[in-house]
Each structure stands twice: as C-alpha cells, then as structure tokens.
Structure 1
Amino acid sequence: MAAPPGTPALIALSCIKKSYNIGHPSEAEILHGLDLQVAAGEFIALMGPSGSGKSTLLNILGLLERATSGDYRLQGETVQNLDDAALTLRRRHTLGFVFQFHHLLPAFSALENVTLPALMGKGRVSSQQRERARSLLDAVGLAHAMDKRPGELSGGMQQRVAIARALVLDPPLVLADEPTGNLDTAASSEVFALLRRMHAERGTSFIIVTHDPRLAAHCDRLVELVDGRIARDEAMVQGVEPVPSSLPAPLP
C-alpha cells in the first residue's frame, strides 16, 4: 500500500552522519551523510553487507541512538534534539519493533506479551488495549494460543506474537530487524506473508532489514547501504504479486 503522490514524508533524513569514539584516535564514522525520505504506507527492504551501517541506521530511525549530525524529521517534527524522555514518548506512540529474536517474556502468556507495550507506557492495560491485543492475536492466527507461554509455541508462532506486540499501540511505522532470520524456510515465508498482510490491511509502514534477496524482491522499495552510504534506492517491479506464490495463503 504505497502512499499517493504528494503525501507528506513520514520520515525525512538529511545529511545524517554517525560516528563512534568521537575525539579519540579510534574515531570511526559509520554513516556518511545519508539523505532518505519514507512516505506513509511504504513497505521497504533495507539491505547491505555486514558492516554497511544497516543496524546503526535502524537504531537512529527507531530513536534508540542519536545521529552525530544531520536532521531527522519524524512526521514533520525534528527529533534530533529532543531529550530522552521526549524520545521515549515519541518512540512509544510512533514506532513498533520486530527483531530477529522475538524477545518475549517467558513467564508471560502470549496475550500478556502483546499487551506489554501498553503496560510499560502507563503501568496498566485498558480494556480497549486488551481487546485490541486479542484481535491482533486472532489476526495472526493465534486465537487458540492466547494463554500459552512462549516455551509452548514454535519459533514461527513466537514471531507472530512479536508482530502482534509491535502493532498493539497502532504505530504508523514498524521497524523489523531480520524478522525472519532466525526461522526455517517455511516459518520465514509465513512470517513475511503475515507482514505483507498487515501492511495491506492496516496501511502500516514497514522498514525491514533483510539479507534475503527473495524477500526483498517482493517489497515495494529497496534501499541498499554500502560502506555507510546509500548505494541503491529504487522501487521494485510493480504489477507483480506482492507475496511469492510459494508463500502460504494469508492466515484466516
């Protein structure tokens, strides 16, 4: 679900640089003046070799790290100079995260894990948020497993719980760092199909870090980093089936 022409940028990066060990002999610049815009509703693959800066860029986009210099606008607001408390609020209300490892709490049920972002935000979960969590678990095919703990679920099922958790506060953008990288081929295909379904049905924007060119080929746009610079930024072939035919049908 790409945004129509003229839609304001969800993300606008201008001349973003990131260095570590600033002022020391070992200082290293990882990102070298990146310019990037992401419109609402895009489904983007972020690729590049190891050490290219993908994780650093994703951390900056996720407000987990600050750029050394440059301008980052999120929904039109410059976030570069916000204090930590303001960044935390912005992150909570704007961003969802899916990681390679699901990071579910083993003592919590699937439903409790999904409601965790709401609990961390206000210290309680409203009835509306709990109902949304139930609805999301139903949408990812886990209505039967809401009371099960992570240890009772397969790897693919645990990652579906993580996807529901990322969406529970209805963020406009989800950042996914190798969300299929720890899964076998069948589970990987299932999770990717689910991400595409969530995008198509809810209009959520996704930026997905992946090393799998097969999955990247079925995203709407590919951004490739090489040595901390954007080496490629292009729309993928339009008019093709957005989910590979080898992937399973959407979950009921």
Structure 2
Amino acid sequence: MSTPAPADTAVPLIALRQLVKRYNLGQPNEVEVLHGLDLRVAPGEFVALIGPSGSGKSTLLNILGLLERLTDGDYALQGQSVRDLQDQALTLLRRRALGFVFQFHHLLPAFSALENVTLPALMAEGRVSSAQRERARALLGAVGLAQAMDKRPGELSGGMQQRVAIARALVNNPPLVLADEPTGNLDTASTDAVFGLLRQIHEERGTAFIVVTHDPRLAQRCDRIVELVDGRIARDERVPPGAGQRG
C-alpha cells in the first residue's frame, strides 16, 4: 500500500474513521461493501477517486453525499459528525455543504438552463431570490453559457448540458462538490473542456472536488488520487506537479 497523503492539521472538510457499510443487515445474505475506511480531505483539495467496478466507489460517494447512511465508524463533515443526524438535519446539511455533478446531467427538459441552475436554491428555500437568480446567471456566464441561458436541455450539446449541471452544483456555493464520472458520456474534446472547467473553478473559488473517474489521464490531472479496491483504500497519494496535463 502506498504511503497515505499527509494529513492537514486544520479541521478537515471530510474525516472518515473506520467507516463500514453493510447491506441486508441481519440477513443471511448480509454483505459488507466498505471495510473500515480512514480518510481525511482538507478544504480546497481536488481528489480523484478511482478503482475497478465493484470496489465501493459509488457507495462511498453516496455516503459522502449524505445519500446513504454508514453502518459503523464515523463520518464528520466540516467537523460535524453525521452518524446520528436525523433525516431533516442531513437534508439541510446536504443543501448547505454539498454540490453534485453526475455522469448523466439530470436536467429537467421542460426548464431553461437558467431555471435548472436555480433549482437547488428553490428546493432549499422554496423560492428563488433576485440575488440567487443573478448568481445563477453569473455561473452560467462563468461556464461559457451566457448566450444559452434561455435554452432548454434538448437545444444544448452534451458538453453544454454538463456545464449547466456544474453551474447548478455551485449555485448554493458549497465547499465540496462530488462528481461521479462527470465526463463519462462525453467525447474527448468535451471531456477535456469540462474537466478543465472543474479545475478552473477549483483554482478560482477554492471549492473542493472529489471526482470519481475510470480515466487514468484525468486522475493524473487531480492533486491527489485515492484508489479503492474491494472496499479498502489501496492507494492514497499526491500527484506530483506536472504529472498530468492540466486543463
């Protein structure tokens, strides 16, 4: 196993301690998917999460995103343990602290790009303020879609749709964005453009990213690689500067 990346002495953004996830608890077919993971991610890190299919990446990302509960161990987000939080508290924390970008953009086809970006604000507060709408406009401008705000997803290319999804993930200004194969459905040119945009956002805004990818080329463009194999961390190391071509 590789030497773990050095721990940050400040309060970590993410701290996992002996995290375990089991399914079908108490049943004959009970299965343990994650086996005692220890992991710390500092604010502002850009981390690639890699590993073969079935290694537990999606399960871990769902737990980090507060979409699934852990079975044993602990998970602290911004210093707050989430283990015993009730569903409503988890929902509020998710809306405040997390943004999500998925392989499939999950845009609502009947809504414009601008309306799709404002959805998290609408869900969080039940309304969209003028300030939030202006922030959504600014984000769409930042991802190169200033001229496409009123277009619906069906009028946009795949790369443009994913840019809308990235703007949507940022509209509530979360400290952490979880990206699950965000370029998995894109061609090479769009992949490079979208991944370069994630790096740009990270560098300009200090947003932390955890990016699940099967593409070793993209992993080398991150600052740190965490590899899962059979539900355990097999590698956790910094990427040497210049090891991958930066977008």
1:7 to 10, 33, 41: 10
Question: For the Cα contact (< 8 Å) 2:48–2:225, is it kept in 1?
Answer: yes
1:173 to 176, 185, 194: 176
Question: For the Cα contact (< 8 Å) 2:20–2:70, is it kept in 1?
Answer: yes
Instruction: Give % identity.
Output: 74
SS in structure 2 opposite 1:145? coil
1:63 to 39, 63, 66: 66
Partner of 2:132: 129
Distance in structure 2 (CA, Å) of the matches to 1:59 and 1:217: 23
1:140 aligns with 2:143: yes
Partner of 1:216: 219
Partner of 1:150: 153
Partner of 1:19: 22
Q: Which runs of 5+ in 2 are unaligned?
A: 1-6
Shift of 1:152: 0.1
* TM-score of the superposed pair, with normalisation by structure 2: 0.96
Partner of 2:101: 98
Shift of 1:123: 1.2
Shift of 1:121: 1.1
Alignment length, in residue pairs? 242
2:37 to 34, 43, 51: 34
Letter in 2 for 1:151: G
| Runs of 4 or more consecutive aligned structure 1 residues displaced over 2 Å after TM superposition | 4-7, 241-244
Shift of 1:6: 3.0
Q: Which runs of 5+ in 1 are unaligned?
A: 248-252
Partner of 2:118: 115
Distance in structure 1 (CA, Å) of the matches to 2:194 and 2:170: 14
Question: For the Cα contact (< 8 Å) 2:8–2:42, is it kept in 1?
Answer: no
1:73 aligns with 2:59: no
Letter in 1 for 2:67: L
Question: For the Cα contact (< 8 Å) 2:97–2:175, is it kept in 1?
Answer: yes
Question: For the Cα contact (< 8 Å) 1:193–1:243, is it kept in 2?
Answer: no
Shift of 1:122: 1.3
1:50 aligns with 2:61: no
Distance in structure 2 (CA, Å) of the matches to 1:127 and 1:9: 33
Letter in 2 for 1:41: G
Distance in structure 1 (CA, Å) of the matches to 2:168 and 2:68: 22
Per-residue deviation, residues 168-193 of structure 1 (Å, max 9, x unmatched) = 00000000000000111111111000
SS in structure 1 opposite 2:32? strand
Shift of 1:5: 5.2
Superposed CA RMSD in Å reads 1.4
Letter in 2 for 1:154: S
